[in-house]
A and B are shown apart, each in its own frame.
Chain A
Amino acid sequence: MSGTQLLDATGIAKSFGAVRALTEASLHVSEGEIVALMGANGAGKSTFVKIITGALRPDSGTVLIRGREARVGSPAQARRSGLVPVYQEPSLIPDLDVADNLRLTDTPVEPFRRWVEELGIRRLALSDMIGDLPLATLRILDLARALASAPDVLLLDEMTAALPTDLVERVLKVMRQKADEGMGVIYVSHRFGEISELCDRATVLRDGMSVGDLKIEPGVEDRAVELMLGQKLDLAARDIHKTRGTTGDRPRMRVKGVAIAPKVSDISFDLFPGEVLGVVALEGQGQDELFECMAGFMPPRAGSIEVNGVAADFRHPADAIAAGVKFVPGDRADALLAQRSVRENIALPFSARIRAWGGLKLRHERARVAHAIARLQIDTRAQGEVQRLSGGNQQKVTIGRWLATGVDTLLLFDPTRGIDVRTKRQIYPLVRELAEQGASVLFYTSELEEIPLACDRAVVIFNGRVVDIIDAEVADEQTLLRAAYGLVAQEGAA
């Protein structure tokens, strides 16, 4: 099996400002080998992929292709040196036809055609516009284009997500066949089923480090889950009191059969007053769309959302806010006025309605803002400009905005991503406290150990559907991660 080494990336490190995305990541691919690259959310996978494919430069470490140091400065150079990536979002130009897209990358047409047919796409004309083709077809075209340039190493980044089963089968078959001819494949995926069917090895990434190389064999799932979790920071819940607020039988918010294009197909759950409901999902399972829909940014394509028993037809976040539903988005940059002061950021909702456009009620505002700052213990040393605060304090400001106005229902989307442990440990009790006072909190987090800490129950979303609802008290990380990988359903079926 182990022929010549095609790709040898060792000791790759990369920081973005103060954030260390990668500390020591390594990956080796030999001729004819298919290697899975795995890691939980935020382990540094996407940064690693970008570095290997030349979209980013590493701070240190080397990338050797066929034993020669590859100075990949751009995707075009990586392509020339024999490493071709296929990304989750196809890098085809929507407004050009197929032929022009091939010319752009100097891809020979005949092999491309052959691969397209081999991969199961019929009736494709070179004059078809990319923008008119369905996403699944585009993924296949992107793959066919990559194969047509006869790469040494092919990198597939989550390429089977949202692909129909028959096409997935074909892709896997073709990969196996190419590997047998000597091509190396890096397979980035969340799907254990495909990995165990296709790959020879799996490299597991955790906290920016390669923590293990696994041979694919029966029972490897457990070992991989173990490696991905590793020894986590102790976030013990000693001082977090999990008393539920008064729970009525009537849900505060009821989500019924909601579908949102393109990722969410069927989601239903109830959110009760006094409850913190966790959401467990791997990246890109439709949770982003779900939260935006509930917050009034986009209407659902099907299904309904009720607030206090009344059908909610949110056309603008203002409607959701009027119904008491407040949203803290995942990306702090989306929520903050970066160049404005802490006070202005927190007080922003006060001025939203036309009635409040006149003179500011400064005393009232000052009191409310001071209260929110005190309750969240926001460090106000650099309060003149929010962008100068630390990530944790910025996050507190986005939450504080809603504390200042009063909260019935709070939608928190990954509020602890990329912030320090201390702030994290301030956020959990706060969330509990809100619930105790009767608020409902929907809490998505990419860090599974937070679910038992902060939540009462958790809905598990996989592939745009609710696959399970778990009692958070009894859920350990292993269970949650297995559930998030959709492994629950398989066991249930077996």
Chain B
Amino acid sequence: MSGIIRKNAWVAGLLALLVVLLVATRMIQPGFGVSGLESIARAALPFVFATTGMAVVVIVGGIDLSVASMMAVCAVTAAVLMERMAGVPAILIVLALGLAMGVINGGLIVATRVPDIVVTLAMLFVWEGVALLILESPGGSTADWLQKSIRGSFLIPGLPNALVIATVCIAVVWLPIRRARLGIAIYATGSDERAAFRSGVAVGRTRIAAYGICGLFSAFGGLSLAALTGIGEPVPGPYLLASVAAVVLGGVVLGGGRGGLLGPIIAVFILRIVRTILTLLAVDPNVTTIIEGTIMVGVVMLGTAATMRGART
């Protein structure tokens, strides 16, 4: 029982921090309102998907350094395809592509027995190169309705469309998996691989599935990138470190087995609002980058230190 309370306490704490930051934003900039929320949610969208994908592989006990590159591949593919065909089939192709890239990552890790971090480092470069091959410089275009879909609010003002879309996409993919045996197997593999094997979990297949899910979320991330910019940008954005930091801040333990997806998602919004606040305080955007980077590195360092302490006791 205490475990559930503890887990939820962390998420609740993050939520409280988020509210405090929102109030602070409002105090700094009294004009901050519905449109501000909408723009935060919109800008956070690719981060949310990158973090969700990263969280799934971290839970299974791995890490995927190639998320940002896979997002770039998906974004340029979407931008190129949408110039030629209707939006919906293009989206489906992109999602399948993301899934395939993730499965390739996971398959290589299981087949070569090379550690996750090395394989995905190599794949970071491979997917980055693939993105450049698809589109050498920013270009292509995305469907208007896609760009519009992430703007504005859903039904009531203050509930940004972008947030609704993210919630729906993640829930549709993750909830059925989490409830099914695969979800338990993912947590089991990350928590204690030997015990999982002894309990009859097909550890290798579970890993590949987790990387596949990560690839799928990267595809969502790439689509949201394309929707945000209206074009395809082949150079990977700063999503790798941001997603690792958000995952750690969100209570998912590096090394696997612990944490959920809600915490990391809230953590993404916290990190985004910090940025908004810095901007509102008229801090130089470059200084903002430094502060953000320092916060992210600090979060990862604290998370690692906490994990080590936990392992020791």
Contacts and interface: CB of A to CB of B under 8 A. Distances in A.
State if A and B touch, Cβ cutoff 8 Å: yes
A127 interface: yes
A76 B196 CA distance: 10
B191 A104 contact: no
B272 interface: no
Contact of B2 (A74, A96, A100, A132): A132
Interface string A475-494: 00000000000000000000
A112 to B, nearest CB: 14
A75 B198 contact: yes
Interface string A63-99: 0000000000011100100000001001111111100
A76 B201 CA distance: 8
Given A100-B184, A100-B187, A93 B196 contact: yes
Nearest to A53: B198
A105 interface: yes
B184 A129 contact: no
Given A93-B187, A129-B4, A131-B3, A105 B199 contact: yes
A370 interface: no
Contact of A104 (B2, B4, B199): B199
Nearest to A80: B200
A129 to B, nearest CB: 3
Nearest to A132: B3
A125 B188 CA distance: 19
Contact of B200 (A76, A90, A129): A76
* Secondary structure of the B contact surface, majority rule: helix
A191 B266 CA distance: 53
B191 A79 contact: no
B258 interface: yes
Contacts of A131: 3
Interface residues of A, number: 25
A79 B3 contact: no
A55 interface: yes
B200 A93 contact: no
Interface string B155-197: 0000000000000000000000000010011011011101111
Nearest to A77: B200
A370 B200 CA distance: 52
A40 B267 CA distance: 54
B257 interface: yes
B245 to A, nearest CB: 22
A91 B199 contact: yes
Interface in A113-151: 125, 127-129, 131-132
B179 to A, nearest CB: 10
A129 B3 contact: yes
A446 B190 CA distance: 35
Interface string B19-32: 00000000000000
Contacts of A101: 199
A314 to B, nearest CB: 16
Nearest to A145: B199
B1 interface: yes
A75 B200 contact: yes
A103 interface: yes
A92 B195 contact: yes
B276 to A, nearest CB: 34
A91 B3 contact: no
Given A94-B191, A96-B191, A125-B1, A55 B184 contact: no
Contacts of A94: 191-192, 195, 257
Task: Name the residue among B185, B199, B258 with the largest chain A CB count within 10 angstroms.
Answer: B199
A92 B196 CA distance: 8
Given A75-B197, A75-B200, A93-B196, A103 B184 contact: yes
B195 A93 contact: yes
A92 B195 CA distance: 6
A79 B198 CA distance: 10
B254 to A, nearest CB: 13
Contacts of B258: 95
Contacts, number: 68
| Interface range, B side | 20 to 34
Contacts of A92: 195, 199
A95 B190 contact: yes
A103 B257 contact: no
Contacts of B257: 93-95
Contacts of B194: 91
B198 A55 contact: yes
Given A93-B257, A131-B3, A87 B188 contact: no
A103 B200 contact: no
Given A97-B3, A100-B184, A105 B200 contact: yes
A476 to B, nearest CB: 40
A91 B195 contact: yes
Nearest to A106: B200
B201 A104 contact: yes
Contacts of A91: 194-195, 198-199
A90 B194 CA distance: 11
A335 to B, nearest CB: 22
Contact of B187 (A55, A74, A79, A96): A96
A100 B184 CA distance: 7
A294 B258 CA distance: 34
A92 B194 CA distance: 10
A105 B201 CA distance: 8
Contacts of B4: 97, 127, 129
Contacts of B190: 95
A128 B184 CA distance: 15
B188 A93 contact: yes
A93 B1 contact: no
Contact of A96 (B1, B188, B197, B198): B188
A91 B258 CA distance: 17
Nearest to B188: A93
A104 B200 contact: yes
Q: Which of A74, A93, A97, A104 has the most CB of B within 10 A?
A: A93
B1 A128 contact: yes
B112 to A, nearest CB: 20
Q: Which of A90, A96, A125, A129 has the most CB of B within 10 A?
A: A96
Contacts of A75: 197-200
Interface string B201-221: 100000000000000000000
Nearest to B200: A76
A96 B256 CA distance: 12
The 8 closest A-B pairs by CB, nearest first: A129-B3, A76-B200, A95-B257, A95-B191, A91-B198, A91-B195, A93-B188, A93-B191
Given A94-B195, A100-B187, 13 more contacts: A74-B200, A75-B197, A75-B199, A91-B198, A93-B195, A93-B257, A95-B187, A95-B191, A96-B188, A97-B4, A103-B181, A127-B4, A131-B3
23 contacts: A76-B200, A79-B200, A91-B194, A91-B199, A92-B195, A93-B192, A93-B199, A94-B192, A94-B257, A95-B258, A96-B188, A96-B191, A97-B4, A100-B184, A100-B188, A101-B199, A103-B184, A104-B185, A104-B196, A105-B200, A125-B1, A127-B4, A132-B3
Interface of B: 1-4, 181, 184-185, 187-188, 190-192, 194-201, 257-258
